[in-house]
Amino acid sequence: MAYALSYPADEPLRLRAVAGDEAAFESLLRPLVEPGLRLALSMLGDRRDAEDATQEALTRAWRKLHQLRPGMPVRPWFFAIVANQCRNVRRTPWFRLTSLVEVVTRPPSRESEVEHLDLERAIQQLPLADRGALFLHFYLGLSIEEVATTLGVSTAAAKSRIYRACRRLRPAVALEELA
CATH classification at residue 28? 1.10.1740.10
C-alpha–C-alpha distance, residues 16 and 54, integer Å: 23
* Residues 6+ away with beta carbon under 8 Å from 73: 3, 5, 6, 7, 146, 149
Longest dimension (CA), the chain: 57
141 and 175 share one domain: yes
What's the pLDDT tens digit per position in 32-50?
999 999 999 888 888 899 9
In a domain, 79, yes or no: yes
pLDDT at 78 over 60: yes
Query: Exposed, middle or buried by CB within 10 Å (0-12, 13-18, 19+), for 87?
Result: middle
Mean pLDDT of 20-27: 92
Domain end marker among 57, 82, 106: 106
Expressed as residue numbers, the domain containing 69 is 7-106
What's 19's DSSP letter? T
135 and 159 share one domain: yes
Q: Tell me, what CATH number does 173's domain have?
A: 1.10.10.10
97 and 129 share one domain: no
Q: How many helices (H) and strands (E) does the chain have?
A: 9, 0
C-alpha–C-alpha distance, residues 145 and 56, integer Å: 25
In a domain, 26, yes or no: yes
In a domain, 2, yes or no: no
Q: Is the pTM of this model over 0.85?
A: no
